[in-house]
Structure 1
Amino acid sequence: MNIKTRFPPSPTGHLHIGGARTALFNWLFARHHGGKFVLRFEDTDQERSRPEYAQAILEAMKWLGLDWDEGPYYQSQRFDLYRQYIDQLLEEGQAYWCQCSPEELEAKRKKALERGQKPKYDGTCRRLGLGPGPGRVVRFKIPPTGSTVVDDLIRGPVAFDHQELDDFIILRSDGVPTYHFAVVIDDLTMEITHVIRGDDHLNNTPKHILLFKALGAQPPKFAHVPMILGPDRTRLSKRHGAMSVLAYRDEGYLPQALINYLVRLGWSYGDQEIFSLQELIEKFSLENIGRSAAVFNPEKLLWLNAHYIKSESPETLASLVRPFLARLGVENVDEGYLRRAIETVQTRAKTLAEMAEMLLFYFKEPDYDPKAAQKFLKPEVLPALERLAGELKELPEFSNEELLEKLFRGLAEEMGLKLKNIAQPVRVALTGKTVSPGLFEIISLLGKERVISRLKRAIEFIKSKEA
């Protein structure tokens, strides 16, 4: 069998975690089997669908590296095709026109509820033999007896009694096909072999299988993936800290970290946590998708992102962090200097945005953190800072960290101070903060001119407070 999967987002918003995981599972399944992956947009909701959302979804897919073999298709461009299949079902007596108004349907629904029955359509127009007309819709005939079994590849067989289903609408009164109909025609004509989607679609699947059978076609195989929940076990939403894929990109997450995290939301391979993309393609299978809901953990994602930042080369990180530095007003930086600076913060940064913040003092004179300045830039450190500025000015070699440390220790001893009593004020003078990469590492990289300039600035700052 030539495997073919699809990802059909609605362009009514950005691509979020749940949709991205669905896309990833379909992509991995197709790639694992040497099959094809189709991208299409379910944009029949013409009021809410927006071209800019379609573009944002395409951008997110490309950033994640989820390439597609066919598409993107747009349902809004396929209405003629849908209409041909509607006509076929009408001609074969498997669908019918319905003239019941929304008010009549609401009245029927209320009566059914009052009688303790399921509020489904009662089939009023089923045998009237109506044709098209203003306000009329087309409904699909559900077989009155029997059941439809969904042989789910994750859950196993799930049976649905036909008496629980009603004759659902396949063509609205405005001539637009419904989701249930368009999705079946798309899967049929695109020869989709496997439908992998969230288990919130499971109740729709018997309708889709019945439509396939009515059209004389073999339904694809279905796999319904458990939902993603927030830490409080409710359906994942923005309030749990979940963002759109592009928002994660803009906050400085790496695509490989997000891919690795998404795949582990519901899929496992032993105890392994870290996977390369090639490993995922080799090892992915539906059998290893769990039946219980996955819980979204932002801290785990952040940990994974920090892991991938640590594992990346400074050369690659230099190109990735530049846009984040640009946001902070730092542009046209020397490549070699940037790479060396990255090496000093690479093991500490959890995101590219955080890395850019950590790097900022290498390129701009820092603003002093008020608490740090109050604690360490005090009059009593003036003599040490002035002596240090003078001695560093005479130092011929700035790249030797051992020599720098020796100078600091010698000065501290001579002035009867502990090393930290000099080191911390110097750290604040150079970086604006009390926490930074190693002090001698910083001094070596900043170079003589910047270091002495910043020490003099700190000296002036302390004197201005005294005045």
Structure 2
Amino acid sequence: MLRFAPSPTGDMHIGNLRVAIFNYIVSKQRNEELIIRIEDTDKERNIEGKDQEILDILNLFGIEYSQVMYQSNNKRFHSAMALQLLHELKAFNCFCSSAWLDNKREEAKNSKTAYRYDDACASLPDELVIDNESPFTVRIRKPMEAIIVKDHIKGEIKFEANEIDSFIILRQDKTPMYNFACAVDDMLSDVSLIIRGEDHVSNTPKQILIREALGYHKKIEYAHLPIILNDNGKKMSKRDDASSVKWLLEEGYLPSAIANYLILMGNKPPKEIFHLAEAIEWFDLKNIAKSPARFDINMLKHINREHIKMLEPKELSRYVGFADENIGELAKIYLEESNTTKELKAKIASIFAKKDIPDEFKEYAQTIVKIVKDAPYFEEYEDFKNYIMNESGLKGKNLFKPLRILLTGVEHGPDIAAVYKYIKNYIGEIVK
């Protein structure tokens, strides 16, 4: 079993989508199920509707999964297993106030040492623990020996016992902390491999400690993906538009191209342009670079253009607002100067929009419009052009400048004969 575990707290980040894609690929390779676990226990940060938005995006990218789970539905298991740890003395109640703990953190900061909880409540007398009515959290006891993680990407990672303190597993309101809920849920789902971002590396030994304390000794495999950097070499954040999958889709990047690029980043594929289904045949986690990958929007534009070229004309026509394969073929002509379906849609829209004719050509344009209105249908552009030329007496730039603008909406662009081939059935609607 593999899992993708997003939080419904904002737009899906490309790093999260990359994690989802890799989990999907490996689940197919291993013939194991992939579940989606919506980690919604932090009620204050949840945004209504974001869970469905996540699922819609996964479906759009062709990521198949066997079921959707909500972490909040496992609360009874989280509570029961925390109680088990308390009964077995593998966890303890902590009555330290937030102000006290903040003071300890400040002391550690001033002394330039890493803060570790000092186990002040680890050995309180039973009568004090039982009778005390003060609010308390529950902490798991710190490990006694090092925890070693074998990572598919990073290799062996060793966490010394003194690097992990007795951390909180239940808040004062008895809701589970992230690491506890995550560890329990992975255990309940019998997850075999966890693929996630490297920002979770520090969580891994804590989750292993929790599972082993609960008597679950199955070795879960790990693969922590390097972070994605922006143009400035810093971690991509919500301030970077391109970090949002929703933004990329709205800008006209195809799901197939986005997936292609996210698999390509920091990887060694056998070819540059491919579809997700192809990647299942050759993808290997061990080929992912250990160092961060830099997001290059220009590379994504190149890949997107190649994927647009592979679309069937009728499918492409729908992206630009039509259902006519001729318009799809027309859009492909504009790929020489466009990278996204949004840009192509704007190009096609200018053809059908009201034309803005420069003053010096307005009179000529009016003449052409009148002629076209009563002109017969012409299969070839040369015949169409010659008819207008003969009827108007116009030639040179006085003919070609206004004619191009009337047909395309702009003064410059692809060969007008190539454009005419796909718009000839719409001439009456275009030239007006």
Normalization by structure 1: what TM-score?
0.83
**2:300 aligned partner:** 301
- Alpha-carbon shift at residue 90 of structure 1 (Å): 0.9
Alignment of 1:391-406 (within 5 A): 396-404=376-384
**2:244 aligned partner:** 244
CA distance in 2, matches of 1:395, 1:107: 86
- Alpha-carbon shift at residue 175 of structure 1 (Å): 1.1
**2:40 aligned partner:** 43
Match of 2:361 among 377, 381, 389: 377
Q: Which residue identity lines up with residue 201 of structure 2 in the other structure?
A: L
Secondary structure of the 1:18 match is: helix
- Conserved? CA contact 2:371–2:388, under 8 Å: no
CA distance in 2, matches of 1:177, 1:183: 9
Gaps of 5+ in 2: none
1:13 aligns with 2:10: yes
1:206-264 Cα distance to aligned partner (Å, 9 max, x none): 11111122122124111111100012110112444414222222222211011101111
Match of 2:96 among 90, 100, 116: 100
**2:211 aligned partner:** 212
Q: Which residue identity lines up with residue 200 of structure 2 in the other structure?
A: H
**2:352 aligned partner:** 363
CA distance in 1, matches of 2:426, 2:151: 68
**1:83 aligned partner:** 79
Q: 1:109 to 1:453 in 2, by over 3 A?
A: closer
Q: 1:280 to 1:177 in 2, by over 3 A?
A: same
Q: 1:57 to 1:336 in 2, by over 3 A?
A: closer
Q: 1:443 to 1:119 in 2, by over 3 A?
A: closer
Secondary structure of the 2:212 match is: helix
Q: Which residue identity lines up with residue 26 of structure 1 in the other structure?
A: N
1:254-305 Cα distance to aligned partner (Å, 9 max, x none): 11011101111232224x2111222111111111111010001111112211
Q: 1:146 to 1:394 in 2, by over 3 A?
A: closer
**2:188 aligned partner:** 189
**1:74 aligned partner:** 70
Secondary structure of the 2:31 match is: coil
Alignment of 1:253-332 (within 5 A): 253-270=253-270, 272-322=271-321
- Conserved? CA contact 2:317–2:327, under 8 Å: yes
Once the two structures are aligned, what percentage of the paired residues are identical? 33
- Alpha-carbon shift at residue 120 of structure 1 (Å): 1.3
- Alpha-carbon shift at residue 407 of structure 1 (Å): 5.5
CA distance in 1, matches of 2:317, 2:378: 24
> Which range moves more in the overlay, 235-244 or 121-130?
235-244
CA distance in 1, matches of 2:16, 2:338: 28
Alignment of 1:148-167 (within 5 A): 148-167=147-166
- Alpha-carbon shift at residue 343 of structure 1 (Å): 5.1
Normalization by structure 2: what TM-score?
0.90
1:25 aligns with 2:2: no
- Conserved? CA contact 2:330–2:422, under 8 Å: yes
1:38-79 Cα distance to aligned partner (Å, 9 max, x none): 100111111111331111111111111112112x11111111
- Conserved? CA contact 2:233–2:294, under 8 Å: yes
Secondary structure of the 1:242 match is: helix
Match of 1:425 among 402, 412, 416: 402
1:388-416 Cα distance to aligned partner (Å, 9 max, x none): 6677678655111343455678899x87x
Secondary structure of the 2:320 match is: helix
CA distance in 2, matches of 1:178, 1:453: 62
Match of 2:415 among 410, 434, 438: 438
Q: 1:311 to 1:116 in 2, by over 3 A?
A: closer
Alignment RMSD, CA only?
2.8
> Which range moves more in the overlay, 111-120 or 220-229?
111-120
- Conserved? CA contact 1:399–1:445, under 8 Å: no
Q: Which residue identity lines up with residue 188 of structure 1 in the other structure?
A: M
**2:137 aligned partner:** 137
Secondary structure of the 2:400 match is: helix
Alignment of 1:225-240 (within 5 A): 225-240=225-240
Greater Cα radius of gyration, structure 1 or 2: 1
Q: Which residue identity lines up with residue 317 of structure 1 in the other structure?
A: L
Q: Which residue identity lines up with residue 434 of structure 1 in the other structure?
A: E
Q: Which residue identity lines up with residue 403 of structure 1 in the other structure?
A: D
Secondary structure of the 2:69 match is: strand
- Conserved? CA contact 1:398–1:444, under 8 Å: no
CA distance in 2, matches of 1:427, 1:215: 74
Secondary structure of the 1:78 match is: helix
Q: 1:344 to 1:224 in 2, by over 3 A?
A: closer
- Alpha-carbon shift at residue 385 of structure 1 (Å): 7.3
CA distance in 2, matches of 1:258, 1:334: 24
CA distance in 2, matches of 1:304, 1:226: 22
- Conserved? CA contact 1:362–1:446, under 8 Å: no
Match of 1:61 among 58, 61, 68: 58
CA distance in 2, matches of 1:449, 1:155: 58
Gaps of 5+ in 1: 323-332, 458-467
Q: 1:336 to 1:104 in 2, by over 3 A?
A: closer
- Alpha-carbon shift at residue 359 of structure 1 (Å): 1.1
CA distance in 1, matches of 2:42, 2:274: 38
Q: 1:410 to 1:6 in 2, by over 3 A?
A: same
1:348-378 Cα distance to aligned partner (Å, 9 max, x none): 442222222111244343344xxxx25x626
Q: Which residue identity lines up with residue 225 of structure 2 in the other structure?
A: V
CA distance in 2, matches of 1:151, 1:107: 36
- Alpha-carbon shift at residue 110 of structure 1 (Å): 3.0
**1:178 aligned partner:** 177
Q: 1:392 to 1:117 in 2, by over 3 A?
A: closer
- Conserved? CA contact 1:7–1:40, under 8 Å: yes
> Which range moves more in the overlay, 223-232 or 352-361?
352-361
